[in-house]
């Protein structure tokens, strides 16, 4: 029974971070209609930036996030303004090809600079454990859980209660009508993409402690993120976070109760089953 609670706790903590990764993609898709297949490689870029800052200045990943978040936001804004926005409105496959090409550029750029060997960015909290009865929790996972849900709540409040959030919602609902009402649609899209990439920098800092990183890991994060956003309904934050928990829990149970190789397939099997019996996914209607 202790294994069950251990798997459940681990899955909830990891799943919250997956939900945060998916929020970045869902936010961008909501205002631009772009599915970014370089999503995971932006996470890798933020992780290797943190590694470089640790190598140069011995900065903990949580501290280096103060640098990587604004830098990644700037990179995201520039990428959207000068690379993706000119392609907006074109055929979907053209956008897919463009973002896949961007993925390859980021992946090979990281490979050229850092090499192909796995690397780690040490953190002061990576070996800290919290013991609750028979359940052992890693402190980095608890921090990731708290930050992920705090950011999800913050984004929800921002969208509902601020002028910029209402602009995002207006562009999502009808970009042409929003423009007629005086909303600068282009600016909203650029800033939203920048925010989405900045969220990935936060997620990178949360995932780094104790996690080996490689230049080719981006595809894994992209696939997991796509599972979560499709399951949660691309633009629904509540459903996205719930879907992140489902994927995280299924992954944890797969690793504990199934062999290592087959265990990695459990989240995908759960995804397929949910799509078969509930094609609308885990949509959650919000007012």
pLDDT digits (tens, 9 = 90+) for 115-151: 989 999 989 988 888 888 778 888 999 999 999 999 9
pLDDT of residue 181: 87
Q: What is the pLDDT of residue 89?
A: 67
- Which of 9-13, 66-70, 175-179, 274-278 bottoms out in mean pLDDT, i.e. has the lowest? 274-278
Average pLDDT over residues 27-49: 91
CA 240 to centroid of chain Cα atoms: 11
Residue 261 pLDDT greater than 80, yes or no: no
pTM score? 0.91
Q: What is the pLDDT of residues 42-63, one digit of tens each?
A: 999 999 999 999 999 999 999 9
Structure tokens at 102: 């961007």
Give the alpha-carbon dihedral of 136, 139, 141, 147, to 10 degrees.
Answer: 140
Residue 137 phi, psi dihedral angles, 5° rounding: -115, 140
pLDDT digits (tens, 9 = 90+) for 157-170: 898 889 998 999 89
Fold of the 2-277 domain: ABC transporter involved in vitamin B12 uptake, BtuC (1.10.3470)
Q: By CB neighbour count within 10 A (0-12 exposed, 13-18 middle, 19+ buried), where does 42 fall?
A: buried
CB neighbour class for 57 (10 Å; exposed up to 12, middle 13-18, buried from 19): exposed
CA distances from 46 to 62, 68, 195, 275 (A): 12, 6, 14, 32
- The answer for residues whose C-beta is within 8 angstroms of residue 78's C-beta and 6 or more apart is none
pLDDT given for residue 150 in this prediction: 92
Per-domain residue ranges for the chain? 2-277
Q: Give the span between the Cα atoms of 35 and 226, in whole angstroms.
A: 9
Q: What is the pLDDT of residue 286?
A: 46
Q: For residue 262, report the phi and psi dihedrals to the nearest 5 degrees.
A: -70, -30
pLDDT for 260: 66
Contact between residue 239 and residue 232 where contact means Cβ atoms under 8 Å apart: yes
Where do we find the tokens 């103060």? 66
> How does pLDDT run across 220-242, given as a tens digit for each residue?
999 999 999 988 877 677 888 88
Segment (H or E) for 131: strand 129-132
When pLDDT is cut at 50, 70 and 90, the band that residue 277 belongs to is confident
Q: What single-letter DSSP state applies at residue 65?
A: H
pLDDT tier, 287 (very low <50, low <70, confident <90, very high otherwise): very low
Distance CA 287, CA 103 (A): 36
95 vs 51, more confident: 51
Question: Is the distance from CB of 263 to CB of 255 less than 8 angstroms?
Answer: yes
Q: What is the mean pLDDT of the chain?
A: 89
- 30 CB-near residues (< 8 Å, 6+ apart): 168, 172, 192, 234, 235
DSSP states along 169-207: HHHHH-HHHHHHTT--HHHHHHHHHHHHHHHHHHHHHHH
């Amino acid at each position: 029974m202790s294994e069950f609670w251990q798997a459940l706790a681990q899955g909830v903590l990891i799943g919250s971070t997956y939900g945060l990764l998916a929020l970045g993609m869902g936010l961008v898709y909501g205002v631009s209609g772009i599915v970014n297949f370089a999503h995971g490689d932006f996470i890798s870029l933020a992780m290797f930036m943190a590694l470089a800052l640790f190598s140069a200045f011995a900065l903990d990943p949580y501290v280096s996030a103060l640098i990587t978040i604004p830098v990644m936001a700037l990179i995201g804004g520039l990428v959207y303004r000068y690379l993706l926005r000119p392609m907006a409105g074109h055929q979907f496959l053209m956008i897919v090809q463009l973002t896949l090409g961007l993925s390859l550029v980021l992946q090979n750029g990281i490979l050229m600079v850092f090499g192909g060997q796995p690397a780690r960015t040490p953190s002061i909290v990576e070996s800290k454990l919290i013991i609750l009865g028979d359940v052992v929790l890693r402190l980095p996972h608890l921090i990731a859980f708290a930050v992920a849900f705090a950011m999800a709540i913050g984004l929800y409040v921002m969208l509902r209660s601020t002028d910029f959030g209402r602009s995002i919602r207006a562009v999502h609902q009808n970009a042409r009508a929003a423009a007629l009402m005086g909303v600068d649609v282009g600016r909203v899209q650029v800033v939203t993409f920048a925010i989405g990439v900045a969220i990935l920098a936060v997620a990178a800092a949360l995932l780094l402690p104790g996690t080996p990183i490689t230049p080719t890991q981006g595809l894994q994060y992209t696939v997991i993120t796509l599972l979560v956003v499709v399951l949660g309904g691309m633009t629904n934050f509540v459903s996205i976070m719930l879907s992140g928990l489902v994927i995280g829990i299924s992954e944890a149970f797969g690793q504990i109760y199934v062999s290592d190789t087959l265990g990695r397939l459990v989240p995908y099997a759960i995804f397929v089953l949910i799509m078969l019996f509930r094609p609308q996914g885990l949509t959650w209607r919000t007012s």
